[in-house]
Amino acid sequence: MNILFFSTQPYDITYFNQANTDNTHHFRFLEYPLNEDNTALIKDETAVCIFVNDKADAAVIRLLKEKGIRLIALRCAGFNNVDLKAAAEAGMKVVRVPAYSPHAVAEHAVTLLLALNRKIYKSYNRVRDNNFTLSGLEGFDVYGKTVGVIGTGNIGAVFCRIMLGFGCKVLAHDVYNNQELMEAGVTYVAPETIMAQSDIISLHCPLTQDTKHLINAHTIHQMKRGVTLINTSRGGLIDTKAVVEALKNGHIGALGIDVYEQEEQLFFQNFSGTIIQDDVLSRLTTFPNVLVTAHQGFFTREALTQIAETTLTNIAAFEKNEPLKNEITQG
């Protein structure tokens, strides 16, 4: 099958070519994102392969159909950037990679937590300047703290287990309770309880109409003062302006994010030497208790290998008219 890749990075080319060992598929890689203008770049492809910041809304899907595209293959787990209703009406299938080394993202969430708490980024820069003082680098023992986890799918479940291993009390909320996690010591509670009791809150849920701005001025007010907030899921879960205000008044003690609500025009690109026009992100990066990484939680060898292999398995199943294990349907 001929497949056109949008938003391609060098590692995409490497790992997808490695996974296409028998040259069953023919790839064309573009660094440009999928949008209304760039559908004109489609030639004789049957499928497009897209990533988190590509746009597949109703207008784009209409143009994809006109170009003969019959399959949208997401090389990620999230699918909030695809209009599933429009895809269904166009007779277009949508598949994704629901689980690609959930350990990669969960471990990155823990990394953000520990780096923030122990001020690793500050101490690193101090030592490089031959400054070996410790003042201002105080952290807290993660052991014994209450950790709230919103979303206990594949990634959230791994994060819960890691936190249990740290000796934390883990509270969780999800549409479905995971019996194995409950047996391991996780307690499922209402979101309001997580907000009120947690010293640390980590988000691991998809972005939907129900979860958009899950963290807002109201829910922040319910949180403990000085709470540490971690988000490695989707930027839209957080009302960033409300979080900025909470950082300014000290209600949020630390923020670690690998995703950002307006990341589409920024992440995966090099803007060094230029002035970022996003005032909210620019403000965030001025806080000494904020750590931002550019959507790199998935970025391990194991995850990249699984993303490529699962994506090509999805495409092969479509080509052979086999059941699509990882198809996404509306509702």
pLDDT score for 221: 98
The verdict on 84 and 109 lying in the same domain is: no
Domain-embedded: residue 89: yes
96 and 106 share one domain: no
Greatest alpha-carbon span in the chain = 64
State how far the Cα of 270 lies from the Cα of 313, in Å rounded to an integer: 32
User: Cβ contacts of residue 214 below 8 Å, gap of 6+?
Assistant: 150, 191, 203, 205, 237, 238
Catalytic status, residue 295: yes
Secondary-structure breakdown of the chain: helix, strand, coil percentages, each rounded to the nearest 5: 40, 15, 45
Same domain, 33 and 70: yes
Q: Is the Cβ–Cβ distance between 234 and 209 less than 8 Å?
A: no
* Number of domains the chain is built from: 2
Whether 15 is covered by a domain: the verdict is yes
Q: Which of 96, 173, 234, 261 is catalytic?
A: 234
For residue 329, is it within any domain? no
Point out the catalytic residue in the list 263, 264, 302, 319: 263
Same domain? For 270 and 171 the reply is yes
Distance CA 300, CA 125 (A): 25
249 within a domain of the structure (yes/no): yes
Instruction: Give me the pLDDT at residue 242, please.
Output: 97
The verdict on 95 and 106 lying in the same domain is: no
Rg (CA), the chain: 21
Mapped onto helix, strand or coil, the DSSP state of residue 81 is coil
The CA distance from 163 to 199, in Å, is 12
27 plus 108 within the same structural domain = no
Shared domain check, 179 and 77: no
Q: Is residue 158 part of a domain?
A: yes
Shared domain for 130 and 270, answered yes or no, is: yes
Same domain, 78 and 114: no
Amino acid at 91: G
What is the CATH classification number for the domain harbouring 253? Answer: 3.40.50.720
**Per-residue confidence (pLDDT) for residue 331, from 0 to 100:** 63
Nearest to 53 by CA among 92, 6, 16, 88: 6
Residue 192 lies in a domain: yes
Residue 178 lies in a domain: yes
Note whether 126 and 249 are same-domain residues: yes
Among residues 25, 108, 173, 295, the one annotated as catalytic is: 295
Distance CA 233, CA 325 (A): 23
Q: Which long-range contacts (CB under 8 A, 24 or more apart) does 236-242 make?
A: 236/80, 236/207, 236/212, 236/261, 237/203, 237/205, 237/207, 237/211, 237/212, 237/213, 238/203, 238/213, 238/214, 239/213, 239/215, 240/280, 240/281, 240/284, 241/280, 242/213, 242/215, 242/216, 242/217
Whether 153 and 33 map to the same domain: the answer is: no
Gap between the Cα atoms of 280 and 285, Å rounded: 9
Query: How many CA atoms does the CB half-sphere of 52 hold within 13 Å?
Result: 28
Can 234 be counted among the known catalytic residues? yes
Range of the domain at 258: 102-292
Q: Is residue 324 included in any domain, yes or no?
A: no
Q: What is the pLDDT along the chain (331 residues), one digit of tens a residue?
A: 999 999 999 999 999 999 998 888 999 999 999 999 999 999 999 999 999 889 999 999 999 999 999 999 999 988 989 999 999 999 999 999 987 889 999 999 999 999 999 999 999 999 999 999 999 999 999 999 999 999 999 999 999 999 999 999 999 999 999 999 999 999 999 999 999 999 999 999 999 999 999 999 999 999 999 999 999 999 999 999 999 999 999 999 999 999 999 998 899 888 998 999 999 999 999 999 999 999 999 999 999 999 999 999 999 999 999 999 999 998 6
Q: Are residues 174 and 280 in the same domain?
A: yes
